[in-house]
Chain A
């Protein structure tokens, strides 16, 4: 990667690599098995001030670029998918505040507080009754003399019980249509969560994402200035797809790493005889390179918009960012599966250093978080009117 990226990240990538290797990796199996919050990883990430890396330096943050954050998500994803996903989701929320509310006095001081306290922000954008469409809300904010209240039935709030704040969507007023939404910040002492379901899933078990009834009351300055429509298309969706695919790239990299180690071990047993599966390894390494290239290209694509609202709200841009998610969510399953074929029974075993079970289970979640069929549907609709680049 370019030298400029490294110089701006103040060693953040190296810190993430160390935390991943020394703290997240040893805990990953227990986080997965017990479906528990990866508290040791977050203690370490907070200690290294990694939760504030995406906050501009003027607010006391690390001033990292999206390229830095992407590389860090990949580094964490190689060791613990849950740690990487929680870290990634937090950075999405930070990006929304930085890009869409920093002009407000309240949010400027909140960003400084965030950098200082290393608070963790969760997201409550989905809601029971909207069929998975985050651009639609049932609940509305109800204003009352400078304050507002909100009551939201959220089917999932990832790490909700461990978050210091939540960004939630709601209709702008009780009379607003479902698509006219705002995004509001709710701090720990302003909301209550009543758990409505459990989180016993195939993968990403450590994200601790049960359903909740969210009830909150806060002052009106907690409402982000821009409409959620703009926040969603210009920041939340592209940044989500970049950080998610970056950590899936980490999962795929880890799987291929195990396949490579396995083939090397096989080759050493009988020098001069190429192991049968080495051709499959050559193939999967090529697929991994393609996935990495797509992630990096999309990072550059996003950076090229330069935070310009107009460039980031275009249809072709939205289609490309959706394609990033679609391609990588499929690629990660393909790459981990093929690594399993290479490692054979050693990859299938739980008690082997080549074990790929957890990675495969996590990989299957990629196509489901914002279901690929929904995204294909959105792209299909946009392609009816969108023209060539």
Chain B
């Protein structure tokens, strides 16, 4: 997946950051990810509004602090296996995946996909509905299993 391209490109279009606005997004309803079209899957030509650029910049900077690569990979795995009725690349990290159509059957495939992507094994105690309820929850579990390393595979 070449998900880095759009925002790398966008970063050039925007002013370099003089502060770290992304930090305000931690744990909250991640407005940038929700509102912005990053990474774009809607077939547009990549031209973004100032607002979107702002969001993309925030996400870009934010990523340095919250292992965004891992979040990207989680979103990719969701994209492959979760069969949501929403675009997994634009939903918030706190969005309830079950409300977006994640079924228990799809959850099993999602677990297998995540185990393969991150080269981990979910222990029995993590095989709970809550673990896979949100991207943030999945992220937290993967961080725990990988010992806080942003990613196990490149």
Contact = CB atoms under 8 A, between A and B. Distances in A.
A358 interface: no
A172 B99 CA distance: 9
A176 interface: yes
Interface string B97-111: 011111111001001
Contacts of A316: 124, 127
Nearest to B108: A381
A188 interface: no
Nearest to B105: A381
A386 B127 contact: yes
Nearest to A385: B111
Contacts of A136: 103
A381 B111 CA distance: 11
Contact of B101 (A180, A227, A385): A180
B49 interface: no
A269 interface: no
A237 B50 CA distance: 52
A315 B99 contact: no
A389 interface: yes
Contacts, number: 57
Interface string B69-82: 00000000000000
Nearest to B86: A177
B19 interface: no
A384 B110 CA distance: 11
A331 to B, nearest CB: 27
Interface string A362-389: 0000000000000000100110111111
A177 B124 contact: no
A174 interface: no
Nearest to A315: B127
Interface string B104-126: 11001001100100000111110
Interface residues of A, number: 26
A229 interface: yes
Contacts of A179: 98, 101-104
B85 interface: yes
B128 interface: yes
A119 interface: no
Contacts of B124: 314-316, 386-389
Given A385-B111, A387-B121, A177 B100 contact: yes
A32 B154 CA distance: 66
Contacts of B102: 179
A388 B125 CA distance: 11
A381 B108 CA distance: 7
Contacts of A313: 128-130
Nearest to A383: B108
A151 interface: no
B128 A385 contact: no
A357 B116 CA distance: 53
A387 B128 contact: no
B30 to A, nearest CB: 21
21 contacts: A136-B103, A172-B99, A176-B99, A177-B99, A179-B101, A179-B102, A229-B104, A229-B129, A314-B125, A314-B128, A315-B127, A381-B105, A381-B108, A384-B108, A385-B111, A385-B115, A385-B127, A387-B121, A387-B124, A387-B127, A389-B124
Given A177-B99, A180-B99, A316-B124, 6 more contacts: A135-B103, A177-B85, A382-B108, A384-B108, A385-B111, A389-B124
Top-4 shortest CB links A-B = A177-B101, A315-B127, A385-B111, A179-B103
Interface of A: 135-136, 172, 176-180, 227, 229-230, 233, 310, 313-316, 378, 381-382, 384-389
